[in-house]
Amino acid sequence: MNNYDDIINMPHHVSKHHPQMSMYQRAAQFAPFAALTGHDQAIADMAKKHYESFEKSSKTEDEDNFEENTYEQ
C-alpha cells in the first residue's frame, strides 16, 4: 500500500460554511510581500550616496594627479 492510496480517490471536500476563494484571493496568499517596507529604497539610497562619494573622491584624486603632473613638467 502506497502512502496515499487510502485517500487518493476520495471526493474533494467543499465546505458548507465557508465560500470558496476566488482565484485572485488564492493567488494573493502566495504572492511575495515586503516584510521590511522601505528596506529596498534605503539600500538604494545608501548605494547612491556611496557611489556619489566615490565619484567625488575619484575626481579629487584625478585633479590632484593633474596638478602634480603639471608642476613636474
**pLDDT value of residue 67:** 57
Confirm if 35 and 41 have CB atoms less than 8 A apart: no
CA 4 – CA 36 distance, rounded (Å): 40
Q: pLDDT (tens digit, 9 = 90+) per residue, 1-25?
A: 678 888 889 999 999 999 999 999 9
Give the per-residue pLDDT at 48.
94
Specify the pLDDT at position 64.
Answer: 61
Rg (CA), the chain: 31
